[in-house]
Structure 1
Amino acid sequence: MDTTRERAPLTRVPLSDAPRPPLDLTLPPWPGEHVEAGGVRLHIRRTPGPTDETAVYVHGLGGSSLNWTDLSAQLSGHAQGIAVDLPGAGRSEPPGGYKFDLVDHVDTLAKFMRGMELGPVHLFGNSMGGAVSMVLAAKYPELVRTLTLVSPAVPDLRPLPNRMSDPRIPFAMMPFIGARFRRQLAALTPMQRAQQLVNLCFAVPSMVPPHRMDETAQEFADRAKIAWAAQSLMATTMGLFRAWLVPPSQSLWRIVPKITAPTLVVWGTQDKLVTVRKAPRTARLLPRGRLLVLPNTGHVAQIERPETVARAALGLWEAAKEDIW
């Protein structure tokens, strides 16, 4: 029986009035570098800010540290930012024998954070990065001060083709027939792939600035030259699916109630990848969770609505500091 109490209504999610830089959608990506810490080597992007507070940003499936440019800028007056490329994503080459399961990502990120002497941090996760962040917050609570989840990839077993940037992707993973579909996908131009991704993830794709489209297309072009990129993406996808298909006793739904950090759940009403219908249950199961649902927003609210997400995240930080969340 679910005995968790109902959370506060949406209107009571505190939106901070703390000062933030003016939103500048022309900002280039933050500088990237490879860093080795805790026996782990990851590519990260740093956002300068006060060093007494740190925000760590974890991207979703097929994403990278580029997904946090605007939100981390909005929060830069309050915390330094570290956006990671998980192994096999962005520019982080996976080590030999890496399994690409959620637990691998969680343990790797925890080792890296400890090696950098980070924690407790303000942890952000989008989509699969949200699932990684949930498990990390439950397994390593000492590393997490607050948790912000943007459309976390909780189990959603609706048919897959309509929830992927190209409906041919599931077929490309199959034996025998997969090779034909992989050739078709490889023939797409980087800009075509970027447009597919934006159409899937954004509620209003036409609102994406041209230079952000160029950045996304360039990332597709860069990854096409990396030998391990395609196989890593496929393995990571399968790792996420495995996390959704485990027995109920091992489900992500059993992990959520173990999270003790004050948590903000943000979801877009037009999310095509993980239905907003999962949002109330996610927030309700969190011992210290609240829910903010954003209209006319898709799967990547931190990109589509960075100002609103920043105000809500700062409200979470302020309330957690005063222990009123």
Structure 2
Amino acid sequence: MSSTELPSAPAASALPKVATVRVAEGERLRSVGLPGITLTVRARPPAREGLAPALYVHGLGGSSQNWSALMQQLEGEVDGEAVDLPGFGDSPPPDDGDYSITAHARAVIRYLDASDRGPVHLFGNSLGGAVTTRVAAVRPDLVRTLTLVSPALPEIRVQRTAVPTGLLAVPGVTALFTRLTRGWTAEQRVRGVMHLCYGDPGRATPEGFRNAVEEMERRLQLPYFWDAMTRSARGLVNAYTLGGQHALWRQAERVLAPTLLIYGGRDQLVGYRMSRKAAHSFRDSRLLTLPDAGHVAMMEYPEVVARAFRELLVETGQSQAVNPRERADVAGDGEAASENPGS
């Protein structure tokens, strides 16, 4: 594994010259070369030495920036890193053009094996939830706990609001959408994404909105932006059709790690009703439901998600709180937020 620090956050060398990637205060980026892929990894130094490692995996169309708020919340509990999946964020496309769930999971596994950071506290949102479910099922040795925020696991009845995203997998639809939206500004696109992904778009701060617009402008300059979106959407749809041991729900049942499931009541992409199925499929699960949250609870309610994760650590005996009083405070903070469905 080769690793290159990106102190001023330029685009990776394999990318065309576009605007730089935004890095929050206290974060750093580095480019990691692995067989067949190059990954950009966002890291936030832990509050103290010796904390257990964590890895965050974003959803379709997202990037490691989606986790910045939660990473900051949890810097006292874990040594956190967030990865840009191949073709997203600041990571260039994979050499083989494979954007399947299996390929994304392989990328995560390759990074964890090469970095020797496992086992980690593994987080996944949406597409990243499907990816990390597969990682936890096939490589339990790499996972301490699993936290899934609106995981994109197969649904029999998909919400109408999620249909347009699924249609990206249909050949020709992306080209048509690109033509129809050619005149849209980056600001218009970001507002559309926020209305789709947030339970309350008003929870986005003015600074957060500006950052999202800058990131959208940057990514629209990438020649493979829509290809990565289309192929990843197709990979997700294909994963929904798999049966046998490769079926995502079957793999959920194989996950051994303690699992925290987080679902938003206003999620327009992953059905809120799927929360109960998930709670009964993951053998060692606890469920946090947020009625006012949308698809990205870790961005809308990072404090609540962090509190639930701390409770998971206490419950599973993995908390590294500094003193007994802090440990008790963590447990007390999370009592009203989550429920254990008798997993």
Cα 1:258–1:169, aligned 2, differ >3 Å: closer, same or farther? Answer: closer
Q: Contact conserved, 2:166 with 2:233, CA < 8 A, in 1? A: no
Q: Which runs of 5+ in 2 are unaligned?
A: 1-23, 320-339
2:11 corresponds to: none
2:137 corresponds to: 138
Secondary structure of 2:124's partner? strand
Listed one character per residue, the Cα deviations across residues 121-145 of structure 1 (whole Å, up to 9, x for unaligned) are 0000011101111110010000000
* C-alpha distance in 2 between matches for 1:169 and 1:29: 36
Letter in 1 for 2:27: W
Shift of 1:158: 3.9
Shift of 1:219: 1.2
Q: Contact conserved, 1:172 with 1:182, CA < 8 A, in 2? A: no
1:206 corresponds to: 202
1:222 corresponds to: 218
Shift of 1:75: 0.3
TM-score normalised to structure 1 length: 0.84
* C-alpha distance in 2 between matches for 1:168 and 1:39: 28
1:105 corresponds to: 104
1:268 maps to 2:248: no
2:295 paired residue among 295, 299, 302:
299
Listed one character per residue, the Cα deviations across residues 4-41 of structure 1 (whole Å, up to 9, x for unaligned) are xxxxxxxxxxxxxxxxxxxxxxx658332212357742
Task: State which drifts further: 89-98 or 135-144.
Answer: 89-98
Shift of 1:81: 0.9
Secondary structure of 2:128's partner? helix
RMSD, aligned CA:
2.3
Shift of 1:173: 4.5
1:183 maps to 2:179: yes
Letter in 2 for 1:282: A
* C-alpha distance in 1 between matches for 2:303 and 2:196: 22
Shift of 1:235: 0.5
Q: Contact conserved, 2:88 with 2:228, CA < 8 A, in 1? A: yes
* C-alpha distance in 2 between matches for 1:154 and 1:171: 17
* C-alpha distance in 2 between matches for 1:149 and 1:179: 32
Listed one character per residue, the Cα deviations across residues 43-80 of structure 1 (whole Å, up to 9, x for unaligned) are 11101104531110000011000100111101001211
* C-alpha distance in 1 between matches for 2:42 and 2:315: 28
Listed one character per residue, the Cα deviations across residues 218-253 of structure 1 (whole Å, up to 9, x for unaligned) are 111111111222111110111001111223664211
Letter in 2 for 1:163: A
TM-score normalised to structure 2 length: 0.80
Letter in 2 for 1:83: A
Shift of 1:279: 0.6
* C-alpha distance in 2 between matches for 1:105 and 1:84: 11
1:192 corresponds to: 188
1:17 corresponds to: none
Q: Contact conserved, 1:261 with 1:288, CA < 8 A, in 2? A: yes
Cα 1:204–1:107, aligned 2, differ >3 Å: closer, same or farther? Answer: same
Shift of 1:286: 1.1
* C-alpha distance in 2 between matches for 1:260 and 1:204: 34
1:34 paired residue among 31, 41, 52:
31
* C-alpha distance in 2 between matches for 1:172 and 1:102: 13
Secondary structure of 1:314's partner? helix
Cα 1:200–1:119, aligned 2, differ >3 Å: closer, same or farther? Answer: same
* C-alpha distance in 1 between matches for 2:78 and 2:169: 42
Shift of 1:171: 6.9
- 1:1-325 alignment, distance < 5 Å: 30-37=27-34, 40-49=37-46, 50-52=48-50, 53-158=52-157, 162-163=161-162, 167=164, 170=167, 173-175=170-172, 179-247=175-243, 250-321=246-317
Listed one character per residue, the Cα deviations across residues 277-315 of structure 1 (whole Å, up to 9, x for unaligned) are 001111111111111111211111101111111011111
* C-alpha distance in 2 between matches for 1:90 and 1:225: 12
Shift of 1:156: 2.3
Q: Contact conserved, 2:36 with 2:94, CA < 8 A, in 1? A: no
2:332 corresponds to: none
Q: Which runs of 5+ in 1 are unaligned?
A: 1-26
- Higher RCO (CA < 8 A, seq sep 6+): 1
Shift of 1:161: 5.9
Secondary structure of 2:266's partner? coil
Cα 1:141–1:172, aligned 2, differ >3 Å: closer, same or farther? Answer: closer
Q: Alignment length, in residue pairs? A: 295
Cα 1:142–1:51, aligned 2, differ >3 Å: closer, same or farther? Answer: farther
* C-alpha distance in 2 between matches for 1:322 and 1:55: 13
Task: State which drifts further: 211-220 or 179-188.
Answer: 179-188
Percent of pairs with identical residues: 37
